[in-house]
């Protein structure tokens, strides 16, 4: 395995060798985009690459504020169930075809289908209609006060291109499907796809017909994107000048990179929480030592595990203080967050052991923990620390770490009983978390809910959030839902992640809390 990693690292460095030109950005991060199909995966690195090629109606700038993209303005109409979006005139796709309302209707309808990983964002929409070529209306099932919040990662495809290339159907990533749209792209964005070798290299070139050529710096004319999973190799590439920009400087190398001549490290809190998920719904578990029962179904076991995790130790030893311990799976950026909810559980091994005893597991049990090794900052190391902490209360954890491309389908396909996941909230509202992670898993909700938790009463409250325009009452419902999530210990929060971007000092950009660098904003100094 070590030999294979060495070969991959050497190959990555060979691909990116050579000094970058003044207009080329050589970009690296730990993991690649999972697909080019813009509706197939709701995953950060996948969206980040898509943002260079495709565009939504609205984006967030580096401060998190709304900015017009393919829509120039938007708002509710006299009918409170209808939002109208006026589209940007004169926009073309990379193949030269005109962008119209027809493409918006097609893209949103596509994103609502079963294989789309974006459908939970669109559950309140019952109709999408083109008023004319440059106007689209969204009809919702009751007034939706935060509809625009759900659109910042909802990318627009060319309807004719999709039909001509048999790409109308969204790629079924979890089912192992490969499609034309997974490896090819035709967007309206600032960069065109030149070549794509998944997990090896992706090359983009500036779209000189981009509608925003005079509105954004667009200094970068070519992007060469190389995933480098190995942290030491990634840092070595930056230090040697073989890459210009890395999104994930390892915490142990922050000083070395920051002190290097010609390099800078920029840091900011990320809109993301890292946590552990638990299969509490099945009668028996596939990957534990208990026959005929599910120890995770007992809330006392979940409470014991929650208080056995020493988040302060993870912060200090594993993360080198580059994290903020969390008590809830919600970043502070999000509507619904309170300091009380985010209070970090005290590590109490004696109490945890007592709870295990009360639940009938005083002698402990063993279970498998599934963990990615190329998605979050120090993800595998966090899982390794968790193994030792849970051992102190009698739970023997067998760690299975693998790439995110293999890890995420385990959650989506309900093939893991205990797993790590990180969650960002691009809508900045709790409803997003509830729709994906708390609601009963089904056709339109709960696609990332690997816990098997199902509460019909809670589901009704979650669905009600999409059409409650009384914001005070809505926030009260959000607080009520969070109380249930916390009381049931649906998840074990670990920490709020911190972003560390490393770059050459001539690269001008600020850290995006979504961890989504948009290269049209980059400026390149002398």
- Average pLDDT estimate for 122-142: 96
pLDDT for 86 beyond 70: yes
Please report the pLDDT score of residue 517 as a whole number: 95
Q: Examine the domain organization and report whether 327 and 459 are in the same domain.
A: yes
Among 112, 146, 171, identify where a domain stops: 171
- Average pLDDT estimate for 478-500: 97
Q: How far apart are CA 148 and CA 131, in angstroms?
A: 18
CATH number for the domain including 74?
A: 3.90.76.10
Please report the pLDDT score of residue 338 as a whole number: 98
Q: Examine the domain organization and report whether 292 and 163 are in the same domain.
A: no
Of 322, 492, 321, the residue nearest 393 (C-alpha): 492
Give how many domains the chain has, as a whole number. 2
Q: Examine the domain organization and report whether 273 and 412 are in the same domain.
A: yes
Could you tell me if residue 220 is inside a domain?
A: no
Q: What are 250-277's pLDDT values in tens digits?
A: 999 999 999 999 999 999 999 999 999 9
- Average pLDDT estimate for 126-148: 96
Could you tell me if residue 124 is inside a domain?
A: yes
Please report the pLDDT score of residue 39 as a whole number: 98
Please report the pLDDT score of residue 5 as a whole number: 35
Lowest average pLDDT, out of 2-11, 42-51, 80-89, 135-144, goes to 2-11
Residue 348 has a CB neighbour count (10 Å cut-off) of 13
pLDDT for 7 beyond 60: no
Q: How far apart are CA 508 and CA 264, in angstroms?
A: 10
Please report the pLDDT score of residue 64 as a whole number: 84
Q: What are 276-320's pLDDT values in tens digits?
A: 999 999 999 999 999 999 999 999 999 999 999 999 999 999 999
Which class for 77: exposed (0-12), middle (13-18), buried (19 or more C-beta within 10 A)? exposed
**20-56: b (≥16 Cβ within 10 Å) or e:** beeebbbbbbbbbbbbbbbbbbbbbbbbbbbbbbbbb
Please report the pLDDT score of residue 443 as a whole number: 85
Could you tell me if residue 460 is inside a domain?
A: yes
Residue 91 CA, chain-centre distance (Å), reads: 28
C-alpha radius of gyration, the chain, whole number: 23
Q: How far apart are CA 478 and CA 288, in angstroms?
A: 34
pLDDT for 361 beyond 90: yes
Could you tell me if residue 217 is inside a domain?
A: no
Q: Examine the domain organization and report whether 488 and 350 are in the same domain.
A: yes
Residue 96 has a CB neighbour count (10 Å cut-off) of 8
Which class for 3: exposed (0-12), middle (13-18), buried (19 or more C-beta within 10 A)? exposed
Please report the pLDDT score of residue 61 as a whole number: 86
Residue identified by tokens 């052991």 is: 353
Which pLDDT band, with edges at 50, 70 and 90, does 403 fall under?
A: very high
Please report the pLDDT score of residue 436 as a whole number: 97
Q: How far apart are CA 505 and CA 249, in angstroms?
A: 15
Q: Which residue has the higher pLDDT, 371 or 9?
A: 371
Angle subtended by helix axes 299-308 and 379-391, to nearest 10: 110
Q: Examine the domain organization and report whether 454 and 320 are in the same domain.
A: yes
H helical segments located in 263-378: 299-308, 311-313, 349-358
- Average pLDDT estimate for 441-453: 95
Could you tell me if residue 18 is inside a domain?
A: no
pLDDT for 10 beyond 80: no
Could you tell me if residue 231 is inside a domain?
A: no
| Strand bridging mode 24-29 / 245-246 | parallel
CATH number for the domain including 277?
A: 3.10.105.10
Please report the pLDDT score of residue 526 as a whole number: 55
Could you tell me if residue 204 is inside a domain?
A: no
Domain of residue 401: give its range: 269-498
| Strand bridging mode 24-29 / 222-227 | parallel
- Average pLDDT estimate for 84-105: 98
Could you tell me if residue 148 is inside a domain?
A: yes
- What's the chain's average pLDDT? 94
Q: How far apart are CA 283 and CA 294, in angstroms?
A: 6
pLDDT for 455 beyond 60: yes
Backbone phi, psi, residue 300, to 5°: -65, -35
Q: Examine the domain organization and report whether 446 and 307 are in the same domain.
A: yes
Q: What are 15-31's pLDDT values in tens digits?
A: 443 334 459 999 999 99
Please report the pLDDT score of residue 62 as a whole number: 82
pLDDT for 13 beyond 60: no
Q: Examine the domain organization and report whether 357 and 483 are in the same domain.
A: yes
HEC per residue, 368-385: EEEEECCCCCCHHHHHHH
Please report the pLDDT score of residue 22 as a whole number: 52
Please report the pLDDT score of residue 525 as a whole number: 82
- Average pLDDT estimate for 168-185: 95
Q: What are 189-203's pLDDT values in tens digits?
A: 999 999 999 999 999
Query: How does DSSP classify residue 99?
Result: P
**Of how many residues is the chain composed?**
526
Backbone phi, psi, residue 57, to 5°: -70, -35
Q: How far apart are CA 323 and CA 312, in angstroms?
A: 10
Among 142, 171, 200, identify where a domain stops: 171
Q: Examine the domain organization and report whether 295 and 165 are in the same domain.
A: no
Q: What are 340-353's pLDDT values in tens digits?
A: 999 999 999 999 99
The helix (H) or strand (E) run that includes residue 497 is strand 491-504
- pTM for the structure as a whole: 0.90
Among 136, 154, 171, identify where a domain stops: 171
């Amino acid at each position: 395995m070590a030999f294979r990693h060495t070969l991959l690292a050497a190959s990555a460095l060979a691909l990116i060798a050579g000094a970058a030109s003044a207009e080329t950005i050589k970009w690296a991060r730990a993991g690649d985009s999972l697909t080019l199909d813009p509706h197939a995966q709701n995953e950060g690195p996948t969206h980040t690459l898509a943002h260079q090629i495709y565009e939504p109606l609205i984006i967030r700038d580096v401060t998190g504020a709304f900015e017009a993209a393919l829509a120039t303005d938007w708002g509710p109409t006299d009918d409170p169930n209808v939002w109208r979006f006026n589209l940007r005139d004169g926009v073309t796709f990379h193949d030269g075809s005109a962008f119209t309302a027809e493409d918006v209707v097609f893209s949103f309808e596509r994103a609502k289908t079963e294989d789309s990983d974006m459908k939970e964002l669109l559950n309140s929409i019952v109709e999408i209609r083109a008023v004319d070529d440059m106007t689209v209306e969204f009809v919702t099932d009751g007034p939706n006060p935060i509809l625009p919040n759900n659109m910042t990662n909802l990318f627009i495809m060319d309807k004719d291109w999709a039909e001509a290339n048999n790409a109308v159907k969204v790629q079924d990533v979890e089912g192992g499907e490969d499609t034309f749209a997974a490896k090819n792209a035709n967007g309206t964005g600032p960069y065109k796809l030149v070549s794509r070798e998944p997990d090896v290299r992706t090359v983009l070139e500036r779209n000189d017909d981009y509608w925003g050529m005079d509105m954004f710096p667009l200094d970068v004319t070519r992007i060469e994107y190389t995933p480098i999973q190995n942290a030491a190799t990634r840092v070595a590439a930056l230090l040697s000048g073989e890459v210009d920009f890395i999104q994930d400087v390892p915490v142990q190398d922050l000083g070395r990179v920051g002190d290097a001549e010609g390099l800078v490290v920029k840091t900011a809190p990320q809109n993301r929480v890292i946590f552990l998920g638990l299969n509490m719904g099945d009668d028996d578990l596939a990957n534990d030592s208990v026959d005929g029962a599910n120890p995770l179904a007992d809330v006392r076991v979940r409470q014991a595990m929650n208080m056995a995790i020493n988040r302060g130790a993870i912060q200090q030893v594993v993360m080198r203080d580059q994290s903020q311990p969390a008590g809830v799976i919600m970043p502070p950026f999000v509507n619904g967050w309170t300091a009380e909810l985010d209070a970090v559980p005290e590590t109490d091994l004696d109490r945890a052991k007592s709870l295990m005893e009360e639940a009938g597991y005083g002698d402990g049990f063993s279970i498998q923990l599934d963990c990615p090794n190329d998605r979050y900052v120090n993800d595998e190391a966090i899982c390794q620390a968790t193994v030792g902490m849970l051992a102190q209360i009698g739970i023997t954890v067998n760690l299975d770490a693998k790439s995110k491309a293999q890890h995420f389908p385990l959650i989506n396909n309900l093939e893991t009983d205990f797993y790590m996941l990180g969650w960002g909230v691009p809508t900045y509202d709790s409803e997003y978390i509830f729709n994906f992670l708390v609601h009963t898993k089904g056709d339109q909700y709960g696609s990332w809910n690997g816990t098997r938790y199902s509460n019909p009463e809670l589901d009704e409250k979650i669905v009600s959030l999409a059409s409650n325009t009384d914001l005070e009452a809505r926030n009260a419902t959000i607080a009520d839902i969070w109380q249930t999530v916390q009381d049931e210990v649906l998840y074990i929060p670990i920490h709020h992640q911190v972003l560390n971007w490393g770059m050459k000092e001539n690269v001008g950009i600020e850290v995006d809390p979504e961890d989504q660098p948009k290269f049209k904003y980059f400026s390149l100094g002398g």
